Structure 1
Amino acid sequence: MECVSDPTDRERERATHRNGDQASDGGGGEPVVRSRDEAIGEPAVFEYANHERIGVAVVDAVSTVAGVDPLQLDTRLYDVIDPDALERTIRNGNADVEISFRFEAYRVSVFGDGGITVTGPAGADRS
């Protein structure tokens, strides 16, 4: 994964979405995260590719922020959200679609423009 040290203008623009929580930048391609330490209190920003399964990208993003292998996560994605419904909703919506949910100790937001944010642990975010 590539580390982003200086947020883009697009990241800054989307830093605060409609309810005051923080959001992600979008795009497609390799998942991108600033750093594991920055994920506490401010979102770690990832991107998923058009051909990539969104559920897999979510698990990879959370495991990266948590610093563990995806198979070491205690919770399975399908225990908190239907991955197929997530995929259909995001893929069939427009770029403004956003779905947020708790996964492990993190708040995950998936955006129709290709962005994923992971904020946490849950006790440290502003929700």
Structure 2
Amino acid sequence: METVTPTQSVSSNSPVTTVVELVADREGTDPMELQPPLYDVIDPEALNALFAPTSRGQSRESGQVSFRYLGYDVTVRADGDVSISNDTER
């Protein structure tokens, strides 16, 4: 049976920082040691821009983006939740 273990975090960090920290924690490594780096998978500036406050300074009310990184399914939501899960035991 496959295992799905989600991790969620609501953080004041940028979405990119949160993703990297969560994956590094799961991998048991330093965020700077992740290979390939996140920018090889998704544009970090674009990811942060998607969830940055509006031009009027308001928080984004909705939206999410999902992608795979180092074997994890990553979902970033407008409310700041970042979830990662994998479908196999490591």
TM range (shorter): 0.7 to 0.9
CA distance in 1, matches of 2:85, 2:46: 22
**Contact kept? 1:101, 1:109, Cα under 8 Å:** yes
Distance 1:95 1:105 in 2: 29
State the distance in 2 between where 1:68 and 1:99 align: 25
SS of structure 1 residue aligned to 2:66: strand
- Give distance in 2, aligned partners of 1:72 and 1:86: 20
1:46 to 9, 33, 43: 9
Instruction: Trace 1:34-73 onto structure 2 (pairs within 5 A).
Output: 40-49=3-12, 52-73=13-34
Q: Could you state the TM-score of these two structures normalised by the residue count of structure 1?
A: 0.57
SS at structure 2 position matched to 1:107: strand
1:12-51 aligned within 5 A = 40-49=3-12
Q: Which runs of 5+ in 2 are unaligned?
A: none
Retained in 2: the 8 A contact 1:102–1:108? yes
- Over the matched positions of the two proteins, sequence identity in percent amounts to 31
Relative CO higher for 1 or 2, CA cutoff 8 Å, sep ≥ 6?
A: 2
- Aligned partner letter, 2:18: A
Match of 1:113 in 2: 79
| TM-score, structure 2 as length reference | 0.78
User: How many residues end up aligned between the 2 structures?
Assistant: 81
Unpaired stretches in structure 1, ≥5 consecutive residues = 1-39
Q: Quick one: which amino acid aligns to residue 65 of structure 1?
A: R
